[in-house]
Amino acid sequence: MVLSSYAGSLRDAVLRAKRPAGEANAALLVGKHRPTLEASAIDLVVPVPMHWLRRSLRGTSAADELARSVAAAIGRPWSRSLARHRATRMQNELSIELRSGNVQGAFRSRRRLDGAAILLVDDVFTTGSTLSACCRALTAAGAATVDVAVVARADTESHHDA
């Protein structure tokens, strides 16, 4: 599920949301995809995790804010069940070809998720490398399904900085 392209005023809103609040973007995302979200029988909403050091420097995580707001809007619990146990370079600092290797093995579940239907939430999808690595960690922890919801999809042809 994607709300829109990572361009123009939505790109500006996503960048602003990287500071404290993703409520408006979460409301738009849920509003657009409510039937799909309700049909998915989601057990838990999980944000793409930020490494603890980067989070402490920024003071917030856009994915956490979005996941919390999405969970509230659909009446499901949210949890930081996934951890980025290894610091990685920022994906936007790397070429598209190097992104997958950068996040390979960087994520682990903090607990067993046996049989759970997970909604993984992030702000921007570019190549899918981070989301794929997160999905692998969640399924390794026993998640039955992992659906993904993002606010924006970057155009990899024109936005190598997304």
Q: What pLDDT digit, counting tens, does each position of 73-100 carry?
A: 999 999 999 998 877 766 666 677 767 7
Q: 2-153 is classed in which CATH architecture?
A: 3-Layer(aba) Sandwich (3.40)
Question: Is 106 within 8 Å of 48 (Cβ atoms)?
Answer: no
pLDDT of amino acid 143 = 98
The tens digit of pLDDT for each residue in 119-140 reads 999 988 888 888 999 999 999 9
- 19 pLDDT tier (thresholds 50, 70, 90): very low
Output the pTM of the full model: 0.77
Are the CB atoms for 49 and 85 separated by under 8 Å? no
> Nearest CA to 17 among 51, 57, 50, 65?
65
In the chain, where the domains are located: 2-153
